[in-house]
Amino acid sequence: MAVNGIQEPGRSPKTVASLDGVSVRRYTTGQVILDDITWTVRSGEHWALLGANGAGKTTVLRMIGALMHPTTGSVEVLGHRLGRVDVRELRAHIGLVSSAQKVPQDAAARTVVLTGHTGTVQPLWRKYDDEVRQRAEELLAELEIKDLAERPFGVCSGGQRARILVARALMADPSLLLLDEPFNALDLPSREDLIDAMHRLALTRPELATITVTHHLEELSPSIGHVLLLKEGRVLASGAAQEVLTGEQMTRCFGRPIEVSRHEGRWLARSGRS
């Protein structure tokens, strides 16, 4: 089986992930986590996945990342349906960035990036030839963290760690990049550095699709063009950002009055008066 993200002639934009009638239930309690989710992500699209805690955001991301299967419905990623594909091979072509990723704290940033080539926690040095090492150097430079190459991951700031993990995820040249709350616990400068980095990636990699899970509109880069709103495991709204990110929709999603504004491509949400 060959899994890749190369754009095929005459098939642009290409579907990179789709959920069709997907539901997820806990077998032990029967609790509904997701209910009848249908959603499609195409190459070059940049999506934000928003919703209150418990809305099902991480569960959706885990399925698209080939880390779990639905109870009912179908999930296709990079042209392959879950349940009919070796998920280990599929995961090698999906970039994932999460603050919960296990990374050796004493490993140098360059080493952490290199492990993205093998998809391992610990480095497999024999697998990293000159070409692989050169790619790691290029990604460190692209994410503007080349000066951190020898610094242990554990002493890097939160923002630096986030960009190191993005570089690691890009080592496999994925068609799909998943970001699970990448801005968690970042201060303002670090947040803005990461937003700038994600915007540059969108401009330099026109075929790359991204999905970002976040709680805050302020964390969305100007490249985010689509939004999926989840509420209690169901799709509340899905589509172009300017159509979904409205005060009315956000109020329905979060259950309190919310005002939404936009300035120079960046979004802002604040509590409105009841």
Residue 12's pLDDT is 59
4 has a pLDDT exceeding 80: no
- The model's pLDDT over 102-133, given as tens digits with 9 standing for 90+, comes to 889 999 999 999 999 988 889 899 999 999 99
pLDDT tens sequence across 228-260: 999 999 999 999 999 999 999 999 999 999 999
Q: Is residue 258 part of a domain?
A: yes
Residues 180 and 168 both lie in one domain: no
CATH number of 218's domain: 3.40.50.300
Domain residue limits at 23: 15-93+174-271
Give the count of domains, the chain. Answer: 2
Of residues 236, 215, 211, the one with CA closest to residue 36: 236
- Give the span between the Cα atoms of 219 and 199, in whole angstroms: 11
Asked, for residue 3, whether it belongs to a domain, the answer is no
Q: Which of 116, 141, 172 is the last residue of a domain?
A: 172
Question: Do 181 and 243 share a domain, yes or no?
Answer: yes
Does any domain span residue 187?
yes
Provide mean pLDDT across the span 17-42.
91
If pLDDT is split at 50, 70 and 90, which confidence band does 28 have? confident
Is 125 found in the same domain as 155? Answer: yes
Mean pLDDT taken over the chain: 90
Q: What is the mean pLDDT of residues 89-94?
A: 87
Q: What is the CA radius of gyration of the chain?
A: 19
pLDDT computed for residue 215 by the predictor? 86
